[in-house]
Structure 1
Amino acid sequence: MRLNGQIALITGGATGIGRTTAIRFAKEGAKVIVTDINEAGANETAAQIKANGGEAIAFRHDVSNEDNWKQIVEDAVKAYGTIDILFNNAGIYVIKPLFETSVDEWNRMLSINVTGVFLGMKHVIPVMAKQKKGSVINASSIAGLTGAPGHTMYGASKGAVRIMTKDAAMEFATLGVRVNSIHPGYINTAMVEYASETTKQSKEQLGQAVSPMGHVGSTEDVSNLVLFLASDESSYITGAEHVIDGGATAR
């Protein structure tokens, strides 16, 4: 098992990439802390892990709230003793023209997508540093690498995650903590369903339009990458951006 005995905290674990990764981590021997603002969904993910013989606990979690982060980390350490892996996966996606974007919408996007990642690193990395070992994976997006109409707000948040990851990797490398970002393209999640509705294109049409491979990716595709970055197989990789987009950014 590639994560045998490891303790992993996954935000946004109620659905999509977060749920798939949580289940995959557990199959690879990790004990998983599943968090999400959607408490029922987080509990369901944990229940699925337990039904398959794994170990997991779930918490309701507002990643934009620092006191909530402090409590989650305290509870996780109380339950399992430490945290070896952090997957900062929670995020929201809004497509909207710049001129129509309100300050409240802008602030909400950044509070979840950027502040949530910042707070995760702020409160989890000190736990990792005590054992001189840890892996942090931050979910960015190809929107943090390339531009697109209607993506000013979302792209700004994911671009911030990209460079924040590199800065943190440099800051914590000597403490044995690796920090990397992932940059998914169109993946078959609720976010792509939302993009499909907003753009009036089917998921199949989106995949054909965006990816040279001609289809959207799966949550399993992304969880494979996250698993690699969480495991010791990537022990010499930090500060790197890992694109998983079916070739979209290679155009």
Structure 2
Amino acid sequence: MDLQLQGKVALVTGASAGLGRAIAKELAAEGCRLAILARRRPLLETLAAELPASAEPLILEQDFTAKDAGERIRDAMQARFGRCDILVNNAGSSRPQEGLGSDEAWMDAMEINFHAGRRITHALVPMMQAQKFGRIINLTGQDEAWMINAANAPNGAVHIWAKALSRTLGRDGITVNSIPPGRIRSEQIDQRILPTEEARRAWAESQVPVGYIGEARDLAVLATFLASPLAHYITGQVIHVDGGTRRFPH
């Protein structure tokens, strides 16, 4: 299937590792030109070296939570590519708490997992509106409350904001969708949440109907399709990629 992505310009935040890195590679394989953003420049440089020359990778070493990050990113993309067609808001992190969590921890989680991506999106939307095309894809997180995790509330906020944004921007040819990953192999999963092969195997056997923990590409292929012109009638959706772990039917 031709996804009609040749020459489209995409920005992937949190691109240095895990899901962001996999999504960047899939988009590049489909012919996208790429801006890749993270704080760890050496990892971005190795990613850029792995991409095809046609990706023309723009490395953005940037703290995406900085208040002026959206404007800095917009200006850099305008200078290099003159446009932005696709935004993948991937940067963020889980925030499990001991006890109820401090006020600082809750505010920090909201900043990282909601406000930072919102500001970047709002800075780039006018470019998409001007060209009457845009794809905004938010990587969020589960909405089943297994425990107190300060990231759950901003994940929910992203879903509500994204739904409202999809209704506001639909007639501009811009779609807005969210993908909550389940347990998928990544830095966070492998180093913080399920740090041993035994733990990963036990989780998969007890919680994942398909019987294994997904790889980053399992999600990246969905993100790439949602980024394509073919997905023009899919917007305002929350699509879980979790091997069936989530128990809700809707």
The structure whose residues are more often helix, as a share, is 1
Partner Cα separation in structure 2 for residue 172 and residue 5 of structure 1: 23
1:238 alignment partner, one of 229, 235, 244: 235
> Per the alignment, do residues 209 and 157 of structure 1 end up closer, same or farther by CA in structure 2, a change over 3 Å counting?
farther
- Map 1:101-180 → 2, pairs under 5 A: 101-141=101-141, 143=142, 145-151=143-149, 153-180=150-177
Counterpart amino acid of 1:79?
Answer: R
Map 1:21-40 to 2 at 5 A.
Answer: 21-40=23-42
Residue 133 (structure 1) shift: 0.6
Greater alpha carbon shift after TM alignment, 164-173 vs 26-35: 164-173
Q: What is the aligned length?
A: 245
- Separation of aligned partners in 2, 1:155 and 1:200: 26
Q: How far is the alpha carbon of 1:116 from its aligned partner?
A: 1.5
Identity over aligned pairs, percent: 28
Aligned partner of residue 84 in structure 2, secondary structure = coil
Give me the whole-angstrom Cα distance separating, in 2, the residues matched to 1:14 and 1:93: 17
Letter in 1 for 2:165: A
Any conservation in 2 of the 1:16–1:190 contact (CA below 8 Å)?
yes
- Higher mean alpha-carbon deviation, 201-210 vs 212-221, is at 201-210
What is the CA distance between 1:201 and its match in structure 2? 6.2
AA in 1 matched with 2:182: G
Contact 2:200 2:213 in 1 (8 A): yes
Amino acid at match of 1:58: I
Q: Tell me how far apart the structure 1 counterparts of residues 17 and 91 of structure 2 sit (CA, whole Å).
A: 10
1:108–1:204 CA distance, 2 compared to 1 (3 A): same
CA distance in 2, matches of 1:111, 1:170: 24
TM-score (norm 2): 0.92
Mapped to 1, the partners of 2:91 and 2:13 lie a distance apart of 5
Which amino acid letter does the alignment assign opposite residue 134 of structure 1?
G
Instruction: Quote the RMSD (CA, aligned, Å).
Output: 1.8
Deviation of 1:89 after TM superposition, in Å, equals 0.4
Residue 12 in 1 paired to residue 14 in 2? yes
Matched letter for residue 114 of structure 1: F
CA distance in 2, matches of 1:207, 1:168: 35
Match of 2:93 in 1: 92
Distance 1:103 1:200, change over 3 A: farther
Q: Which runs of 5+ in 2 are unaligned?
A: none
Measured after TM superposition, the shift of residue 117 of structure 1 is 1.6
The residue type equivalent to 2:188 in the other structure is: M
Match of residue 74 from structure 2: 73
Shift of 1:200: 11
